[in-house]
Copies of this chain bind each other. A is one copy, B any other.
Amino acid sequence: MAPLRSWLNIESSSDFSIANIPFGIISTAVDPLPRVATAIGSLALDLHAFAQGNGFARLSTIQPHQSVFSQPTLNAFAALGRPMHRVCREYIQSILLEDGPFPDVFQNNHALQQSALIPLEECRMHLPMQIGDYTDFYAGLHHAYNVGVLFRGPQNALQPNYKHLPVGYHGRASSVVVSGTPVRRPNGQILLDPTAEPKQPVLSPCHKLDIELELGCFVCKPSKLGEPVAIGKAADYLFGLVLLNDWSARDIQAWEYVPLGPFTSKSFCTTISPWVVLMDALEPFATHGLKNDAEVLPYLDEKDRKAHYAIDLSVSLTTASDKSTVISTTSAKNLLFSFPQMLTHHTIGGCPFNVGDLLGSGTISGESASGKGCLLEQTENGKVAVQLEGGEQRSFLQDGDIITLTGRCIGENGAIVGFGSCTGRIEPALKL
């Protein structure tokens, strides 16, 4: 199949090809009200302006719902459900298509182009969803194994439950921020000498500030208290994916996390990319995840359905002296459990979901040394420094470091479905 071509000039290397059509929230200097847009090449298509200019003239099903594009979050659009996401995305593709069916709507409508197309560099991006609850899973098998080896050795690396259920914990929705938000190094309680007795913590800036390369998945359909979502229905609840960096304070985590799990070591900040890539856009890249050699219980059995995505992921670190190094590359298929399995397990006891809830995949690491999704793994908890371009090295993050996650799928025909970037710069800890 030849790639879809647009009458707009889109660089072939753009994450936002006509095969993508992600959704996000923009504002501009001229119009500071946050509103819905899609990204196409180097442009945002302002869907609020597009709707107001009758851009949806040839899609009657969306017309009673066009106010969703004037909202400051994607929640209302998401709540319309997957069939509506599909027709909206395909309609937007059709009006951007070279030799498309409706050239009068947009291609030949210069007034509407004028009002609705905005260079991406003029857009301020906002958090795409209002997040009710955020849950972070731990489905990256290689990551869980590598971290387990560090702390418990290879025999006991994985806990007995690990392959039977997607291990996860409730995260802090209020601390999820959009790409570009500065990340202040957290203060917290730390044991400077973990072997000394009695154990006496100090209050200190985190010395082991780390990243976690993850995918985030937004929910578009509510579920009721007491009513599990069956595995066969779970995909209907999934809106789309973003990149997610679960910044982690390893020294704070080590002291606080027994017995109830990570807490302030996580909830100081979690960064997501601004463009939600719809599940439909990812469907051509569906693949199997990692093979689970434990047989999962029937309620989690996907019956060999391809529920993972072949997304190429990368992590780069840019120092304060502006040298960038790619410190990790891997694929999103390195997960033991899929988002449908996570949702189904999460609801098995009756936990309800709201539109806008966020699931994190857990840190995604490949099997090889070049594909580790956090510094804890790469540096073996600080023992082996990572070498950077320009001669610096890192055990953990320094103030001024910028971390950038990217993710992209490359189709057989060369069409790219990408996520843009998910970045954050480390600012010094607050002096207390």
- Please tell me if the beta carbons of B170 and A171 are within 8 angstroms of each other in the complex: yes
- Please tell me if the beta carbons of A170 and B167 are within 8 angstroms of each other in the complex: no
- Please tell me if the beta carbons of B349 and A252 are within 8 angstroms of each other in the complex: yes
Q: Which of A168, A181, A189 has the most CB of B within 10 A?
A: A189
Question: Which residues of the partner chain B approach A172 to less than 8 Å between Cβ atoms?
Answer: 133, 135, 170, 351
| CB of A82 to closest CB in B, whole Å | 21
Question: Which residues of the partner chain B approach A354 to less than 8 Å between Cβ atoms?
Answer: 174
In whole angstroms, how far apart are the Cα atoms of A226 and B174 in the complex? 12
- Please tell me if the beta carbons of A177 and B268 are within 8 angstroms of each other in the complex: no
- Please tell me if the beta carbons of B225 and A132 are within 8 angstroms of each other in the complex: no
Interchain CB contact (< 8 A) of A297 among B171, B189, B257, B299: B189
Known: A173-B173, A174-B351, A228-B430. A261 touches B264 (CB 8 A): no
A/B interface sample: 8 pairs, CB < 8 A: A164-B201, A170-B263, A174-B357, A175-B351, A186-B348, A187-B228, A226-B269, A252-B349
Question: Which residues of the partner chain B approach A260 to less than 8 Å between Cβ atoms?
Answer: 138, 167-169, 261-262
Tell me if A265 is interfacial: C-beta within 8 Å of chain B: yes
- Please tell me if the beta carbons of A168 and B202 are within 8 angstroms of each other in the complex: no
Cβ proximity bits A259-299 to B, threshold 8 Å, 1 near / 0 not: 11111110111000000000000000000000000000111
- Please tell me if the beta carbons of A258 and B161 are within 8 angstroms of each other in the complex: yes
Tell me if A165 is interfacial: C-beta within 8 Å of chain B: yes
In whole angstroms, how far apart are the Cα atoms of A146 and B159 in the complex? 26
Tell me if A249 is interfacial: C-beta within 8 Å of chain B: yes
Question: Which residues of the partner chain B approach A256 to less than 8 Å between Cβ atoms?
Answer: 161, 165, 167
- Please tell me if the beta carbons of B430 and A227 are within 8 angstroms of each other in the complex: yes
Please report A residues at the B interface, Cβ cutoff 8 Å.
132-133, 135, 138, 159-161, 164-165, 167-175, 177, 181-182, 184, 186-189, 198-203, 206, 225-228, 249, 252, 255-265, 267-269, 297-299, 345-346, 348-354, 357, 427, 430, 432
| CB of A139 to closest CB in B, whole Å | 12
Question: Which residues of the partner chain B approach A259 to less than 8 Å between Cβ atoms?
Answer: 159, 167, 257, 261
In whole angstroms, how far apart are the Cα atoms of A135 and B187 in the complex? 19
Q: Other than A188-B348, A202-B297, A257-B259, give 14 A-B pairs with Cβ distance below 8 A.
A: A133-B172, A167-B260, A170-B170, A170-B172, A172-B351, A174-B351, A175-B351, A182-B226, A203-B348, A257-B261, A261-B262, A264-B345, A264-B351, A269-B350
In whole angstroms, how far apart are the Cα atoms of A187 and B350 in the complex? 8
Question: Which residues of the partner chain B approach A188 to less than 8 Å between Cβ atoms?
Answer: 348-349
Interchain CB contact (< 8 A) of A203 among B171, B181, B226, B297: B297
| CB of A145 to closest CB in B, whole Å | 13
